[in-house]
Amino acid sequence: MSQKIKIILFIIGVVLIGSLIFLLFFHKPTQTSNTTDDQNSQSSTNIQPAQPPVTFLIPEKTAPTMTLQTKKGNLQTNNLYQNPLEHLSHDGIVFEKNNDAIASFFPQDQGFLITLLNSDLEKARTEAENDFLQKLNITKDQACTLKVTLNTPSFVNQKAAGTNYGLSFCPNGKPLPKQ
């Protein structure tokens, strides 16, 4: 086979593979169903239409508050973006950092991460939870409507690492392991 034929076959192969990849990943099949049938099937199985994802708008640095979306509606908190201690990727921030814990906020899912750093986990948790409530200027009940992960790394406590303990005063809060 000549060099010219090999090149032509190679180009045809690349085009075919590229077309297949395009069809698999970017082509959306058309649906040919009757809207009445769709409504009937939704009502019989109680399927609700998907809600659009909620986006968090980063507040201006001068704004005194920011609005978070919770299970129970909107919640006004202090604006954590006024004086962040560190900027993280994707607009995340560290807003509290001391010997007991580090607290961060991630706007993509409006979630908080509290990482305990003191080997006296009970003390660290109590201090971190109090700091969290104070920094956001919210009540315990309001805090329980937020997405909060509270954990500790293995270098602090091997036995306690790898678990989300949540906030101790919330229904989903878990007790820390006994030391």
pTM of the predicted model as reported, rounded to 2 decimal places: 0.69
26-48 pLDDT, tens digit per residue, is: 555 544 444 444 444 444 445 54
Instruction: Count other Cβ atoms within 10 Å, centred on residue 64.
Output: 11
Task: Calculate what percentage of the chain has a pLDDT beyond 70.
Answer: 76
Beta bridge partners of 151: 115
Task: Calculate what percentage of the chain has a pLDDT beyond 90.
Answer: 63
Sequence letter at residue 69: Q
Residue with tokens 């101790």: 168
109-163 pLDDT, tens digit per residue, is: 999 999 999 999 999 999 999 999 999 999 999 999 999 999 999 999 999 999 9
Contacts of 60 (CB under 8 A, 6+ apart): 81
In the predicted model, what is the mean pLDDT of residues 170-175? Answer: 95
* pLDDT at residue 82 tops 80: yes
Structure-block tokens of residue 10 = 């190679």
Size of the chain, expressed as the number of residues it contains: 179
Structure-block tokens of residue 141 = 């009940």
Whole-number Å distance between alpha carbons of 129 and 143: 10
